[in-house]
Amino acid sequence: MRVCGPVAGRRGGVPREKAATQLDLVAAFPAQAITVTISAKARRNIVEQFEERSDRLDLCAQGKIDKTSDGLELKVDEAHLLVGVTRRPAEPFHANLLRPGQMSQEGLVGPEVLKSVNPKYTDAAKKARIEGMVHIEAVILEDGSVGDTRVIKSIDALLGLDDEAMKAFKQWRFRPATRSGQPTRVVVVGILRFDLFL
């Protein structure tokens, strides 16, 4: 089973390099607290990065859930069974700009892709065999370049795939959106795919 959710706290004071640690994961499904026990081997790199960015990430862990005297526990022995994903932002993103579904209603001609750049795998994400699509919300500027970006659907925020997707999308170029023939800023959603076999 795969569970995702914010880390509510930590238990255990054993140093990272000497033994396993425990993280209390409040999972989105099933909707109850699950203690995720992570071996020292799995924790060495990924959990330290997660702890540094835990205010904006959810931890996803995969494994078998067992009932214990303290509740539910999921044990993780391999780092590739842990992924940190960016939480979907709650706050509006350039609320004053139009989005694709609104453009035809407002007499806009949407932007057209002139140049796309594929994202690159990080070595760690390739080793962890993470695949999927990162969805990015971005402002397309009047000159067709990409302005502000943010991840709205994450596949990995710890091993670098979300960052690589944003880096690649920043290099895309568009024929800008126009209103009455004049270039104008709009918000679009870009989807960048990570596929180990491409």
pLDDT 10s digits, 41-55: 776 666 666 767 777
SS3 call for 87: coil
Indicate the pTM of the whole model: 0.77
State both tokens at 145. 């370049």
What's residue 151's pLDDT? 95
Closest by CA position to 44, among listed 64, 62, 19 = 19
Using 50 as the pLDDT threshold, list the residues of the chain that sit under it: 14, 16, 18, 29
What's residue 10's pLDDT? 67
What's residue 21's pLDDT? 59
Closest by CA position to 71, among listed 8, 13, 20 = 8
